[in-house]
Amino acid sequence: MMALMGEGGALIVLFAVGGCATYQPVPMTSEAVDAQLQPPDMAELRMLASEIDHPILQPVKWKPDDGLTPEVAAVLAVLLNPSLRAARDQRALAGAQLLDAGLLPDPELSYSLETPTGGDTAGKVNAFGLGLSWEVTSLVFRSARVDGSRANQEAVDLDIAWQEWQVAQAARAAVYQLASLQDRTALAEEVSRQAARNLERIRKAVAAGTMTAGSLDAARTAGRRAEENLLDLEKQAERQRLQLRRLLGLPSDGLIRLSDDIHLPSRVDPPALAALLEGLEKRRLDLLALRRGYDSQEAAVRAAILKQFPKIVIGPTLSRDTDNLRTTGFALSVELPIFNRHQGEIARERASRRMLFDEYANRLFETRSDIGLVLSGMRFLNEQIGSARASEAGLERLVESYRAALEEGRTDALIYFAAWNELADARMKILALKGELAQAVTALQLATGFYEIPKPDWSPRINNTEEGNTP
C-alpha cells in the first residue's frame, strides 16, 4: 500500500509539474534595443497608415514623395512613436490580470506518514493520512473579480487610445508650427535680400553725394537686424523639426519634408460652446477610460465585501492508524471572521473608488474649461488676423506709393525700405497668427474628441459618437 501511495504521489507531482510554464530568458542587448527602434520599411508603413484602427483617427493614403501633411504626421506618430509602443504593452498586462481573475484556486493534496518508533510496536503498522481539499468560497467573488478585470482591460485600451490621440495631435500641431516657421523664414530671407539691395543702393547714393553717411549706418543696422531675425527663425524651425522627428520616432538627422498643400487658416468659426460640449463624455477617450476604471473599482469593492464570507475549504480524506484501521471521511475548514473580516481591504477599495469618482469629475470640469479657453483664444486670433490683414492692405498701398516716389526721385531708398519693412513685419505677424490659429484648431480637436471640428450650424442632436467617434 505504501508503495502504491508513493508511486501515486510521484505521478501526481509529475503531472502538476508538467503543466507548469518554463522559463525562457530574454536578455536586453544593444542589438535587441536597436532592432526595436528601427521603423518598419516604407511599404509596410504605408499599408499600416492606410489600415490604422483607432476610435478617432482615420486611415490616410500617403506617398513619401508627397511630403508630410498634418493628418499623415498624426497617423505616423501613432505608428512610430516609441513611447506609444511602451504604453501598448499595458494591454498584455491587463489581459494577464483578466486571465488571473478568472482562474480558480488549485485543489490541495495532503499526505502524512507516521511510523511507530517506540513502546509496544508489535503488530503495529505505519499510519498514513491522505486528504484532498478545495476552497469553495472562491466561487463567491469570482464573478466580481472577472467583471472588474474586464472593465480594467477596457479602461486600459481606452487610455492607450487617448495617449495615441494626444501624440497624434501633438504631431499635427508640430506640422502646422513648422509650416508657419518655414513661411516666415522664407519671408525673412526676402527681407534680408531686400536689405542687402537697399544697402547697396544707399552706398551708391552716399558715394554720389545725394545721401549722408548716417543713412548708410541706418541701412547697415537694418541689414544686421534682418540677418538676426532670419537666424532666429531658422533656429526655431530647426528646433521644431527636431521636435517633430521625436514625435514621429525618427532619428535626429531624419529627413522631413512638408507637403506643399498645407494651408494655414485665416479664420475659423467653430460651433458654439454648448454644441461642442454635447456628447463630450462619450467622445473624450480619457473620460471613457476613467468611467471604465470606475466600473472596475466598483467591482473591486463588491469583491472585497464578498470576501467577508468565511473561507470554507472542503474535501474527502482517507487515513489508516497504526492498528491498521482504515477510515474514509470528509474534512471541513471554516475561517472565523472575528478579527480581520477584510475591513482594511474594503476601506482601501472604497477610498480608491471615491478617488476615481473625484478624478473623473475634475477631469470633466477641466475639459469643459479647456474648451472654453480655446474658443476664446480662437475668437481673439480671428480678430487679430483680421486687423493685421487690414493693416497689411494699407501698408501695401503705402509701399506702392513710396515705390513710385522712389522711381521719380521724390523720396530716398531708406524711407522706401522702412515702409517695405513695415509691410514685411505685418505679413510676418499674419503668418505667426495663422500658425497659432491652426494649432488652436488642433487643441480644440484634442479637447473635444473630434477628428474635424464641425461646422457652426452643426446640431448637437446629431450624435455619431457610437459609430467611430467622428463627426
Report which of 403, 398, 428, 417 is spatially closest to residue 194, judged by C-alpha positions.
Answer: 417
Give the chain's mean pLDDT: 86
Give me 391's grid cell: 493693416
In whole angstroms, give the CA distance from residue 244 to residue 250. Answer: 8
- The answer to whether 43 and 149 have CB atoms below 8 angstroms apart is no
Give pLDDT tens digits for 113-151. Answer: 989 888 888 888 898 899 988 888 888 888 888 999 999
Report which of 173, 154, 157 is spatially closest to residue 54, judged by C-alpha positions.
Answer: 157
What's the whole-model pTM score? 0.83
Query: For the residues 176-205, what does the mean pLDDT come to?
Result: 91
Residue 3 has pLDDT above 50, yes or no: no
Domains (range + CATH), the chain: 35-115+125-467 (1.20.1600.10)
In whole angstroms, give the CA distance from residue 160 to residue 92. Answer: 12
258-263 contacts at long range (C-beta below 8 A, 24 or more positions apart): 258/67, 258/68, 258/69, 258/175, 258/178, 258/179, 258/182, 259/66, 259/67, 259/68, 259/69, 259/72, 260/67, 261/69, 262/69, 262/70, 262/175, 262/176, 262/179
How, if at all, do strands 127-135 and 326-334 pair? unpaired
Which residue type does 22 have? T
What is the band of 382 on the pLDDT scale with cuts at 50, 70, 90?
A: very high
Strand order in the sheet with 312-320: 108-114, 127-135, 312-320, 326-334
Residue 8 has pLDDT above 60, yes or no: no
Query: For the residues 400-408, what does the mean pLDDT come to?
Result: 87
Lowest mean pLDDT segment, chosen from 2-11, 79-88, 352-361, 424-433? 2-11
Task: Give the pLDDT of residue 236.
Answer: 95
Which residue type does 370 have? D
CA distances from 339 to 34, 210, 345 (A): 55, 104, 13
Report which of 256, 128, 129, 247 is spatially closest to residue 182, judged by C-alpha positions.
Answer: 256
Contacts of residue 383, defined as CB under 8 A and 6 or more positions apart, other chains included, come to none
Give backbone dihedrals phi and psi of 353, rounded to 5 degrees, phi first: -65, -45
Give pLDDT tens digits for 274-329. Answer: 999 999 999 999 999 999 999 999 998 998 888 888 888 888 988 988 888 888 98
CA distances from 139 to 132, 143, 147, 285 (A): 18, 8, 13, 34
What is the band of 467 on the pLDDT scale with cuts at 50, 70, 90?
A: very low
Give pLDDT tens digits for 233-261. Answer: 999 999 999 999 999 988 887 788 899 88
Q: What percentage of the chain exceeds 90 in pLDDT?
A: 47
Dihedral, 454, 369, 268, 382 alpha carbons, nearest 10: 170
Torsion-angle region of 211 (φ positive above 0: left; ψ -120 to 50: alpha; else: beta): beta
Report which of 49, 108, 41, 110 is spatially closest to residue 75, judged by C-alpha positions.
Answer: 49
Rounded to a whole number of angstroms, the CA Rg of the chain reads 37
In whole angstroms, give the CA distance from residue 413 to residue 165. Answer: 52
- The answer to whether 385 and 323 have CB atoms below 8 angstroms apart is no
Torsion-angle region of 38 (φ positive above 0: left; ψ -120 to 50: alpha; else: beta): beta
Task: Give the pLDDT of residue 386.
Answer: 95
Task: Give the pLDDT of residue 70.
Answer: 94
